[in-house]
Amino acid sequence: MEVSGGLLACHIVCHLMSTTVDPAEESLRLNNTYRTPRPTFDRTQHDHVIVELYCSLCGVTVSGHARHCRACNKCVAGFDHHCPWLNNCIGSRNYWWFFSTVASAAAWLLWMVAILVLIVGEYHKNPAVLRTDPHYESTCCLFLLPSPRGHPVS
């Protein structure tokens, strides 16, 4: 139970960090007009937003690895992609947190599958042992199953 709680806590921290760390270009973050609305990218008016390391929408000079995200409408340092599940761009400033989020979710999922396989295996081997195990109640709560207390063991 402690391992699953630790993995879940790690995932929650990584998820919060990947969504709250602002991946915007440093020159854009230092600009005073960062939080004001900017014009949106329109392909009919512009072929490219960033020309010669200058973003015409953000009005700042950017690094060579920056790209303008259409979903967030801002220049992102080391732009990788816009993640719809996190509702945030993934760039060089939050890429490690994003990777940690994915890895911790996968680790937690594998841990839950391992616990479930052990419980199902024990159930098929000897179901009475499960009901007498001291971790039985917490395991039922873990999988949100109703407690079978009071039911006869067959």
Per-residue pLDDT of 66-99, as tens digits, reads: 888 888 888 888 888 999 988 899 999 999 999 9
Higher model confidence: residue 5 or residue 37?
5
- Of 20-24, 50-54, 135-139, which range is least confident? 135-139
Mean pLDDT of the chain: 79
Q: 18: which 2 tokens?
A: 């990947």
pLDDT at residue number 144: 44
Higher model confidence: residue 36 or residue 91?
91
Read off the pLDDT band of 119 (50, 70, 90). Answer: confident
57 has pLDDT over 70: yes
Q: Summarize the confidence of residues 122-140 as an average pLDDT.
A: 67
Q: Summarize the confidence of residues 116-121 as an average pLDDT.
A: 85
pLDDT at residue number 135: 59
pLDDT at residue number 56: 80
Q: Which of 10, 14, 72, 83 is catalytic?
A: 83
For 53, 54, 67, 76, 93, the CA distances from 57, given in Å and listed in that order, are 12, 9, 12, 13, 21
138 has pLDDT over 70: no
pLDDT at residue number 73: 83
What does pTM read for this prediction?
0.70
Active site residue 55: no
For 84, 85, 92, 121, 140, the CA distances from 1, given in Å and listed in that order, are 31, 27, 35, 18, 11
The rounded distance, in Å, linking the Cα atoms of 117 and 9 is: 23
Please give the distance of CA 154 from its chain centroid, rounded to a whole number.
44
pLDDT at residue number 106: 94
